[in-house]
Structure 1
Amino acid sequence: MIDKTIFGYGDDTYMLKERLLEKTSYLTSEDQAEIARAYDYAEKAHEGQFRRSGEPYIIHPVEVTIILTELSMDRETLIAGLLHDVVEDTGVTLEEIGQEFGDTIAHLVDGVTKLKNLKFRSSAENQAENFRKMFLAMAKDDRVIICKLADRLHNLRTLQHMPEEKQKKKAKETLEIFAPLAHRLGISKIKWEMEDLSLRYLDSPQYYRIVSLMKKKRAERERLVQEIIGVLSEKLAEQNVEVESISGRPKHIYSIYRKMKSQHKQFNEIFDLLAIRVIVRETSSCYAALGLVHTIWKPMPGRFKDYIAMPKPNDYQSLHTTVLGPRGEPVEVQIRTVKMHRTAEYGIAAHWIYKELGNGNTQRKKYWINKMVEEQEGRDAQEFVEGVKMDWFTDTVFVFTPKTDVIELPNGACPLDFAYRIHTEIGNKCIGAMVNDKIVPLDYKLKTGDKVHIITSKHSYGPSKDWIKIVGTSHARHKIRSWFKNQVKEDNFLKGKEMLEKQILQTRPSVNLTDILSSKNLQQVIQKFKSQDVNELYSGIAFSVYSVQSVADYLLELAGFEVDMVEKIVKNPPKKSKSKIGIHVKGIDNVLVRLSRCCNPVPGESIGGFITRGRGVTVHRLDCPNLSAVEPERLVDVDWEEPDGDGKKSYQVDIEVAGLDRNGLLNEVLRVVENTRAACYAVNAKVQPKGFAHINLTVAIHNRNHLDSLVDRVKGVRDVHSVRRIIQ
Structure 2
Amino acid sequence: MNTSTISDSEQNTFQPPQWLQACLLANGDPNHQYHTEDNRLICQAYEFAYELHKQQTRKSGEPYIVHPVAVAGLLRDLGGDSAMIAAGFLHDVVEDTEVSLEEIESRFGEQVRQLVEGVTKLSKFEFSSKTERQAENFRRMFLAMAKDIRVIVVKLADRLHNMRTLQHLSLEKQQAIALETKEIFAPLANRLGIGRLKWELEDLSFKYLEPEAYRTMQNHIAEKRTDREARIEKVTQLLKDRLQTIGIKIIEIQGRPKHLYGIYQKMCLQQKQFNEIYDIAGLRLIVDNKEECYRALAIVHDTFRPIPGRFKDYIGLPKSNRYQSLHTSVVGLNGRPLEVQIRTLEMHQVAEYGIAAHWKYKESGGSNQVQVSSGDEKFTWLRQLLEWQNDLKDAQEYIDSLRDNLFEDDVYVFTPQGDVMVLARGATPVDFAYRIHTEIGNHIKGAKVNGRWSVLDCSLENGDIVEIITSKNSHPSLDWLNFVVTPTARNRIRQWYKRSHNEENVARGRELLERELGKGGLEALLKSPSMQSVAQRCNYQKVEDLLAALGYGEITVSNVVNRLREIVKDQQSISKESNPELTTTKLQETTKKSTSVPVGSQYPIIGVEGLLYHLAGCCQPIPGEKIIGVVTRNARGIAIHNQNCPNIEGVEGDRLIPVSWNTVNGNGRPHTYPVDLAMEVIDRVGVFKDILSRLSDQNINVRNAGVKTSWGKPAMITLSIEVINHRQLESTISQIKNMSDVLNLRRLNQLDEL
TM range (shorter): 0.5 to 0.7
1:276–1:5 Cα change, 3 Å: farther
1:31–1:213 Cα change, 3 Å: same
The offset of 1:92, in angstroms, is 0.7
Unaligned runs of 5+ in 2: 1-7, 374-378, 511-522, 536-541, 558-575, 579-708, 716-754
Match of 2:193 in 1: 186
1:360–1:343 Cα change, 3 Å: closer
Structure 1 distance, partners of 2:454, 2:468, is 10
Structure 1 distance, partners of 2:33, 2:212, is 42
Letter in 2 for 1:370: R
The offset of 1:464, in angstroms, is 1.0
Q: Please tell me whether residue 304 in structure 1 is matched to residue 311 in structure 2.
A: yes
Q: Please tell me whether residue 534 in structure 1 is matched to residue 544 in structure 2.
A: yes
Match of 2:327 in 1: 320
Match of 1:554 in 2: none
Question: Do 2:504 and 2:551's aligned partners in 1 also have CA atoms closer than 8 Å?
Answer: no
Q: Please tell me whether residue 78 in structure 1 is matched to residue 85 in structure 2.
A: yes
Match of 1:18 in 2: 21
Structure 2 distance, partners of 1:47, 1:542, is 54
Of residues 347, 370, 383, the one that matches 2:397 is 383
Question: Do 2:26 and 2:35's aligned partners in 1 also have CA atoms closer than 8 Å?
Answer: no
The offset of 1:27, in angstroms, is 7.9
Q: Please tell me whether residue 213 in structure 1 is matched to residue 220 in structure 2.
A: yes
1:530–1:172 Cα change, 3 Å: closer
Question: Do 1:187 and 1:346's aligned partners in 2 also have CA atoms closer than 8 Å?
Answer: yes
Letter in 2 for 1:397: V
1:584-623 → structure 2 map (5 Å cutoff): none
The offset of 1:492, in angstroms, is 4.1
Match of 1:489 in 2: 502
Match of 1:439 in 2: 453
Structure 2 distance, partners of 1:539, 1:333, is 57
Of residues 412, 437, 443, the one that matches 1:423 is 437
Letter in 2 for 1:155: N
Letter in 1 for 2:484: V
Question: Do 1:414 and 1:442's aligned partners in 2 also have CA atoms closer than 8 Å?
Answer: yes
Identity percentage over the alignment?
Answer: 47
Q: Please tell me whether residue 450 in structure 1 is matched to residue 471 in structure 2.
A: no
Of residues 262, 265, 276, the one that matches 2:272 is 265
The offset of 1:376, in angstroms, is 2.3
Match of 2:114 in 1: 107
The offset of 1:482, in angstroms, is 2.1
1:15–1:218 Cα change, 3 Å: closer
Structure 1 distance, partners of 2:202, 2:338, is 22
Q: Please tell me whether residue 470 in structure 1 is matched to residue 483 in structure 2.
A: yes
Structure 1 distance, partners of 2:189, 2:69, is 21
Question: Do 2:184 and 2:406's aligned partners in 1 also have CA atoms closer than 8 Å?
Answer: no
Match of 1:39 in 2: 46
Range 404-413 or range 177-186, more displaced: 404-413
**Secondary structure, aligned partner of 1:244:** strand
TM-score after normalising by structure 1: 0.67
Match of 1:552 in 2: none
Letter in 2 for 1:363: Q
1:486–1:272 Cα change, 3 Å: same
1:256–1:540 Cα change, 3 Å: closer
The offset of 1:368, in angstroms, is 2.6
Match of 1:665 in 2: none
Letter in 2 for 1:244: I
1:717-728 → structure 2 map (5 Å cutoff): none
The offset of 1:262, in angstroms, is 1.4
Structure 2 distance, partners of 1:420, 1:58, is 49
Match of 2:159 in 1: 152
The offset of 1:229, in angstroms, is 0.6
- Report how many residues are paired: 530
Letter in 2 for 1:18: Q
Question: Do 1:132 and 1:384's aligned partners in 2 also have CA atoms closer than 8 Å?
Answer: no
TM-score after normalising by structure 2: 0.65
Q: State the 4+ residue runs in structure 1 displaced beyond 6 angstroms.
A: 1-4, 19-28, 494-497, 519-522, 528-532, 538-543
Deviations 1:342-363 (A, max 9, x none): 1110011123466669516663
Structure 2 distance, partners of 1:298, 1:529, is 75
Q: Please tell me whether residue 523 in structure 1 is matched to residue 531 in structure 2.
A: no
1:94–1:247 Cα change, 3 Å: same
The offset of 1:52, in angstroms, is 0.4
The offset of 1:211, in angstroms, is 0.7
Structure 1 distance, partners of 2:36, 2:384, is 38
1:33–1:424 Cα change, 3 Å: same
Question: Do 2:150 and 2:369's aligned partners in 1 also have CA atoms closer than 8 Å?
Answer: no
The offset of 1:57, in angstroms, is 0.5
1:480–1:111 Cα change, 3 Å: same
Deviations 1:498-523 (A, max 9, x none): xxxxxxxxxxxxxxxxxxxxx99962
1:527–1:274 Cα change, 3 Å: closer
Structure 1 distance, partners of 2:13, 2:339, is 42
Range 524-533 or range 269-278, more displaced: 524-533
1:399–1:388 Cα change, 3 Å: same
1:40–1:414 Cα change, 3 Å: same
1:717–1:89 Cα change, 3 Å: closer
1:568-647 → structure 2 map (5 Å cutoff): none
1:401–1:713 Cα change, 3 Å: farther
Question: Do 1:141 and 1:363's aligned partners in 2 also have CA atoms closer than 8 Å?
Answer: yes
Q: Please tell me whether residue 223 in structure 1 is matched to residue 223 in structure 2.
A: no
Structure 2 distance, partners of 1:224, 1:345, is 25
Of residues 286, 291, 295, the one that matches 2:298 is 291
Structure 2 distance, partners of 1:458, 1:172, is 47
Range 115-124 or range 488-497, more displaced: 488-497
The offset of 1:456, in angstroms, is 1.0
1:714–1:3 Cα change, 3 Å: closer
**Secondary structure, aligned partner of 1:277:** strand
Letter in 2 for 1:110: E
Structure 2 distance, partners of 1:530, 1:308, is 56
Letter in 1 for 2:528: Q
Letter in 2 for 1:90: T
Structure 1 distance, partners of 2:435, 2:443, is 13
Question: Do 2:143 and 2:386's aligned partners in 1 also have CA atoms closer than 8 Å?
Answer: yes
Structure 2 distance, partners of 1:538, 1:142, is 38
Match of 2:174 in 1: 167
The offset of 1:19, in angstroms, is 6.4
Report which of the two structures shows the higher radius of gyration computed on alpha carbons. 1
